[in-house]
Amino acid sequence: MSIHKQLPIVVIVGRVNVGKSTLFNRLASDAHTIAYDTPGVTRDMVFDKTQWQNCAFILADTGGISITKTKDPIEQEIRTKALDALQNADIVLFMIDGAIGLTPEDHDIAKLLRRMGKKIFLVVNKTDYAITKEHIDEGLSLGFPLYGISATHGRGIEELMNAVIKEIEHIEPGSVEDHAYRVAIIGKPNVGKSSLMNMLLKKERSIVADMPGTTREAVSDFVTFYQEDIKLTDTPGIRRKRGVTHPLEQLMVKSALRAIDAAHIVILVVDGSEGVLSDQEIKLAFYAFEEKHKAVIILFNKQDLVTDEHKALLEQQSLLYDHLLDKVAKLSISCKTGKNIGKIMPLIHEVWERMQFQISETELTMFFNEQLTRRPLYKNKQALTFYRAKQIRVAPITIQLTVGHPPYWEKTQLGFLDNQLRSKYTLIGVPIVFVLRKAFGK
Ligand code: GDP
Ligand code: GDP
């Protein structure tokens, strides 16, 4: 199995019950699995690598959920995930129920999609019902190209998908910027980001003054390493959110979060002579790695000032946050003495290579089966059933688990598989994303 690192992503969105999962299942490559045979069983995102007439793409279903605002925290999390998927989408299939016509929620979704500026196809589903002209006109009034289908009967799918792949073929092979992998350098003011950036770019692009916060705006530059283009971005520093009062500092937090979102690899520079990481630094590493699925490298700078006492403090902290700090890549450096500066680019490259890690469905399924036989997982005293695991994406490594009851697989259970995988393969610095799928007929 080979997974292209930049397969186009097609995302299906729409409110509950319009027929998204029915379409997803019809298009999904693996005919044996059906994502939601019971409506609402799992409302998580599902992905599949699929193809239409030899044109491969990633298909994602945002689940039977609303992407409009909600106060329910679970709904909010799902909404965030749906928005994330949309951000990464190349093509959006916006589905409405033709038998019902446009609802206020559909209008909200349309508004949001329009703001995102994505290529959108309006999919009017359930055309096996007699669809009134009024409903079609309503749909057309949204201004997106419209395709009438019946997901259950398979009607209109061919026209829709032919248009989708035509659009995919139009997606430009991309500029240097698209091919480069993006590395963001983040950290508090004064930890040495600009010094580092200058050393990496081997030119004095910004003047480092002995004053905190001399670099305010994010600056980017390309470097070529091992024939690969890397886009490095240095961002203004981040301070603890609680202490943030000045609008400029608010901007700093925001720009760091934006830089994380846009990057493949996040380099968090910290001042090693402060001993421990601040709460804000831990939070940022966590946000980048666990929530945004970015590779993370922590550089402990100013080693020339680090004492044994600092080292002991850091060791204590590492024990406390081992679930995060053991998984990210770490390196001690000094911009002043040049210590380990030469190791940074090779480390970035290594981490990027690890993000391309690929494993076959057979090997992965066998490995997880072995681990789960050795140590079965339980939820409320019920043994969890696992059927198979298939890698569906690289960068970030994304693994789809086909299981008996997806809601039982929570952080702890997935964490077990994550750890097992990490103990067998070298995956330091890179996140592993699991998506759950319910086994058909189980
Ligand atoms: P989702 O919540 O958007 O994922 O919607 P589902 O795919 O779960 O579909 C909701 C309901 O609509 C189910 O009962 C489907 O069987 C039904 N449905 C989906 N597509 C069609 C269609 O083309 N025609 C008809 N009549 N019903 C459909
Ligand atoms: P930024 O605000 O994170 O971009 O940090 P700068 O690169 O501007 O560095 C802040 C200060 O720390 C400057 O005075 C640098 O000379 C100093 N500095 C950077 N790296 C090191 C280092 O490894 N050791 C020591 N002692 N000072 C450093």
Distance in angstroms (rounded) separating the CA atoms of residues 198 and 205: 6
Ligand 2 near 195 CB (within 6 A): yes
pTM of the shown model? 0.62
How far does the centroid of ligand 1 lie from the alpha carbon of residue 125, in Å?
8
Higher pLDDT residue, 188 or 362? 362
Kindly state the percentage of the chain with pLDDT values over 70: 76
Position 176 scores a pLDDT of 36
Q: Which two tokens stand for residue 324?
A: 């995060």
Top pLDDT among 359 and 1 is at 359
289 in Cβ contact with 330 (< 8 Å): no
The neighbouring-strand residues paired with 230 are 181, 223
* 90-133 pLDDT tens trace: 899 999 999 999 999 899 889 888 887 788 999 999 999 887 77
Residues 6+ apart with CB under 8 A from 41: 405, 406, 407, 438
Average confidence (pLDDT) over 436-441: 77
Query: 202-211, 216-225, 341-350: which has the minimum mean pLDDT?
Result: 202-211
How confident is residue 65, by pLDDT bands cut at 50, 70 and 90?
Answer: low
- What's the confidence (pLDDT) of residue 231? 63
pLDDT of residue 234: 60
| pLDDT confidence of residue 437 | 84
Residue 236 near ligand 2, beta carbon < 6 Å: no
Lowest mean pLDDT among 230-234, 333-337, 396-400, 412-416: 230-234
pLDDT score at 220: 53
Strands of 227-334, DSSP E: 228-234, 265-271, 295-301, 329-332
Backbone angles phi, psi at 4, to 5 degrees: -75, 140
Query: In the prediction, which pLDDT does 141 show?
Result: 87
- Does the CB atom of residue 215 touch ligand 2 within 6 A? yes
pLDDT beyond 80 at 408: yes
Q: What is the DSSP string of 351-376?
A: HHHHHT----HHHHHHHHHHHHHHS-
Give 150's DSSP letter: B
Residue percentage of the chain with pLDDT more than 90? 33
Predicted pLDDT at 296: 97
CA–CA distance from 204 to each of 198, 200, 207, 233, 414 (Å)? Answer: 6, 10, 7, 15, 45
| pLDDT reading at 43 higher than 80 | no
Q: What is the pLDDT of residues 257-286, one digit of tens each?
A: 777 887 889 999 999 999 888 888 888 899
Which residue's CA is the closest to the ligand 2 atom numbered 10? 190
Query: Does the beta carbon of 70 lie inside 6 Å of ligand 1?
Result: no
Confidence at 254, pLDDT banded by 50, 70, 90:
low
| CB crowding 104-120: b at 16 or more within 10 Å, else e | eebeebbebbeeeebbb
Mean pLDDT of 388-403: 89
Per-residue pLDDT, averaged over 376-396, amounts to 88
In this prediction, residues 9-33 reach a mean pLDDT of: 79
Residue 205 has pLDDT above 60, yes or no: no
Average pLDDT taken over every residue of the chain: 79
Cis peptide before 247 (omega within 30 of 0): no
Tracing tokens 């040049």 back to the chain, one arrives at 338
Tell me the C-alpha distance between 438 and 41, whole Å: 8
Please tell me the predicted confidence (pLDDT) of residue 151. 93
What's the pLDDT at 204? 37
Q: Which pLDDT belongs to residue 95? A: 95
Inform me whether the pLDDT recorded for 44 exceeds 60.
no
- Dihedral of CA atoms 294, 297, 298, 302 in degrees, nearest 10, equals -140
Q: So what's the pLDDT on residue 82?
A: 75
CA separation for the pair 48, 399 (Å, rounded): 10
E strands in 158-305: 181-186, 219-225, 228-234, 265-271, 295-301
- For the Cβ of 214 lying below 6 angstroms from any atom of ligand 2, the answer is yes
> How many whole angstroms from 203 Cα to the centroid of ligand 2?
16
| DSSP letter for each residue of 375-413 | S--EETTEEPPEEEEEEEETTTEEEEEEES-GGG--HHH
- Tally of CB atoms within 10 A around 283: 14
| Predicted confidence band of residue 224 (pLDDT cuts 50, 70, 90) | very low
The predicted-structure confidence for 142-188, as pLDDT tens digits, reads as follows 889 999 999 999 899 999 999 998 888 876 544 334 456 788 888 88
- Of 82-86, 167-171, 254-258, least confident by mean pLDDT is 254-258
Closest alpha carbon to 340 in 263, 272, 413, 433? 272
| Ligand 2 pocket check for 327: Cβ under 6 Å | no
- Of 366, 426, 355, the closest CA to residue 390 belongs to 366
- Measured in Å, residue 384 CA sits from the centre of ligand 1 at 29
For residue 18, the CA-to-ligand 1 centroid distance in Å is 6
- Give the distance from CA 358 to its chain's centroid: 17
Check if 305 has its Cβ closer than 6 Å to any atom of ligand 2. Answer: yes
Task: Report which listed range, 17-26, 101-110, 298-307, is most confident.
Answer: 298-307
